[in-house]
């Protein structure tokens, strides 16, 4: 069965208008009733860096308890320490980039410094009964004039596994990957790291989303990040239509393999989708 990691945090964080806290709470509580494996709901980062997420603590206090697990993004030891105060959080997500330029832009750290920070975060997580999810961003290429290769991505993934990271999400940050790219990288990573839970976090053109979701599924991926309506994405993408892989597109791709479809409440999903369109973006 495919684990769907719904990512409203990624969908909302880049929006220029601040979404009222009460609106976020209502939206997330709808998503928590759908039946997703995990909800990437917020982040413990500087409000100056991500103003949209400055109310994460207030939002968390009002989330309903369901079987869906909660994931929060952190980028440093301080953020991880804040997240550890909340037993309802199951996962700490950390963005580690294959691109030196993007790592500096995203977290104001070098790759080497980010790895040190990730090691500290993972140690804290393991000591507090939480799991770390490492997002290996720019895993399919980047817009900078930097040396890039699949072998470099695999080398970093192996290093993360050796560090004790049990979940790694291969991320197409700018939406450049095609179906073959996704299938090849995922299959190679799976052979290299058979005991690591591997997933994909894809940004893509909506017209290619179902095809790319199918490629991931056919390669054996059973952990896929999505966002309702494909909201979000990376501002550096050359294609202005590029957003997160739409939840609807993944569900469409799973129609061909019903045994892999998780039990979702499609009525609540439709209600959440309508709420998003009218209140989020």
Q: Are 234 and 203 in contact (CB under 8 A)?
A: yes
Q: Are 36 and 43 in contact (CB under 8 A)?
A: no
Q: Are 64 and 32 in contact (CB under 8 A)?
A: yes
CA pair distance 39, 51, nearest whole angstrom:
20
Residue 7 falls in the annotated catalytic set = no
CA pair distance 183, 10, nearest whole angstrom:
24
- How far is the CA of 76 from the CAs of 96, 116, 126, 136, 236, in angstroms? 11, 10, 15, 16, 23
Give Cβ neighbours of residue 211 (< 8 Å, ≥ 6 apart): 179
CA pair distance 4, 199, nearest whole angstrom:
10
- Catalytic residue, chosen from 7, 204, 221, 234, is 234
Q: Are 72 and 105 in contact (CB under 8 A)?
A: no
**DSSP reduced 3-state for 217:** helix
Instruction: Give the Cα-Cα-Cα angle 87, 4, 267 (nearest 5 degrees).
Output: 100
The DSSP element (H or E) to which 261 belongs, if any, is: none
By annotation, the residues acting in catalysis are 234
């Amino acid at each position: 069965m495919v684990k769907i990691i719904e990512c409203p945090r990624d969908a909302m964080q880049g929006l220029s208008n601040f979404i009222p806290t009460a609106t976020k709470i209502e939206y997330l509580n709808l998503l928590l009733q759908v039946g997703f494996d995990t909800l990437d709901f917020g982040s413990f980062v500087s409000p100056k860096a991500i103003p949209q997420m400055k109310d994460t603590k207030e939002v968390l206090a009002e989330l309903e308890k369901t079987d869906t697990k909660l994931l929060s993004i952190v980028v440093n030891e301080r953020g991880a320490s804040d997240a550890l105060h909340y037993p309802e959080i199951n996962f700490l997500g950390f963005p580690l980039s294959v691109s030196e330029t993007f790592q500096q832009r995203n977290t104001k750290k070098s790759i080497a410094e980010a790895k040190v920070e990730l090691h500290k975060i993972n140690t804290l997580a393991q000591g507090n009964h939480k799991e770390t999810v490492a997002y290996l961003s720019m895993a399919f290429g980047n817009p900078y004039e930097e040396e890039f290769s699949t072998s470099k991505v695999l080398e970093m993934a192996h290093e993360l596994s050796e560090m004790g990271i049990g979940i790694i999400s291969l991320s197409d940050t700018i939406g450049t990957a095609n179906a073959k790219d996704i299938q090849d990288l995922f299959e190679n990573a799976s052979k290299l790291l058979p005991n690591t839970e591997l997933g994909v976090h894809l940004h893509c053109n909506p017209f290619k989303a179902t095809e790319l979701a199918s490629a991931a599924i056919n390669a054996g991926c059973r952990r896929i990040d999505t966002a309702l309506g494909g909201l979000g994405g990376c501002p550096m993408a050359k294609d202005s239509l590029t957003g997160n892989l739409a939840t609807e597109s993944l569900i469409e791709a799973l129609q061909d393999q019903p045994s892999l479809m998780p039990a979702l409440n499609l009525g609540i999903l439709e209600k959440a989708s309508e709420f998003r369109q009218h209140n989020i973006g």
